[in-house]
Amino acid sequence: MLVVGDKEQSAGTVAVRSRTEGDHGAKPIAEFVEMIEREVKERKLAGVI
């Protein structure tokens, strides 16, 4: 889940939360995209969906 409120918008970040791993905290958008690309390549998302 991504949370983008006023604070995140101002900072250019997204707050990332996972059902399985909990709160990942705020991350720059580019870092979040890299994280998701890596998880897709490693097929980590298969067990979550």
Chain segment 3-45, per-residue pLDDT in tens: 999 999 999 999 999 888 899 899 999 999 998 898 888 876 6
So what's the pLDDT on residue 41?
87
Q: Could you tell me if 13 and 27 are in contact, meaning their C-beta atoms sit under 8 angstroms apart?
A: yes
CB 25 within 8 Å of CB 15: yes
pLDDT of residue 47 exceeding 80, the answer is no
Q: How far apart are CA 25 and CA 23, in angstroms?
A: 6
Sign (positive or negative) of CA dihedral 14, 2, 32, 17: positive
Residue 39 has what pLDDT?
Answer: 83
**How many domains in the chain?**
1
Could you tell me the residue range of the domain that residue 27 belongs to? 2-47
